[in-house]
């Protein structure tokens, strides 16, 4: 990352997983972001570990908007959390 202010970030790819069961961790392993600098140059090597991730709660079912923040700029994506369902009980 350069030491130049940037105007925005956007999601280039990922996350490919958009549906989760309650209690499941958010998978951001394939999330890739692009920063656009004020001078027009771009950086497409920003990964989730460099960002602050908010808005995901694995205990709450339903649609959720996850916010990715990097350098004060944000991008969003949606995920869905569904309740675990019991398939069978073995005795």
pLDDT tens by residue, 23-67:
999 999 999 999 999 898 998 989 999 999 999 999 999 999 999
Residue 2's pLDDT band (cuts 50, 70, 90) = low
Query: Residue 78 pLDDT > 70, yes or no?
Result: yes
Query: What pLDDT, on a 0 to 100 scale, did the predictor assign at position 20?
Result: 96
Query: Residue 1 pLDDT > 60, yes or no?
Result: no
Left (φ > 0), alpha (ψ -120 to 50) or beta: where does 4 sit?
A: beta
Q: Which two tokens stand for residue 80?
A: 């869905």
Cα(21)–Cα(73) distance, integer angstroms: 29
> Do β-strands 73-82 and 19-21 pair in parallel, antiparallel, or remain unpaired?
parallel
Cα(69)–Cα(54) distance, integer angstroms: 8
Q: Considering the entire predicted model, what is its pTM?
A: 0.85
- Residue 22 forms beta bridges with which residues? none
**Cβ–Cβ < 8 Å for 57, 64:** yes
């Amino acid at each position: 990352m350069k030491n130049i202010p940037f105007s925005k970030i956007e999601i280039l790819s990922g996350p490919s997983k958009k549906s989760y069961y309650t209690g499941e961790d958010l998978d951001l392993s394939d999330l890739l972001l692009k920063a656009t600098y004020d001078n027009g140059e771009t950086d497409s090597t920003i990964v989730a570990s460099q960002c602050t991730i908010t808005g995901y709660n694995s205990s709450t079912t339903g649609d959720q908007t996850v916010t990715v923040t990097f350098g004060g700029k944000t991008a969003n994506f949606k995920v869905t959390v569904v309740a675990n369902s019991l398939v069978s009980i073995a005795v």
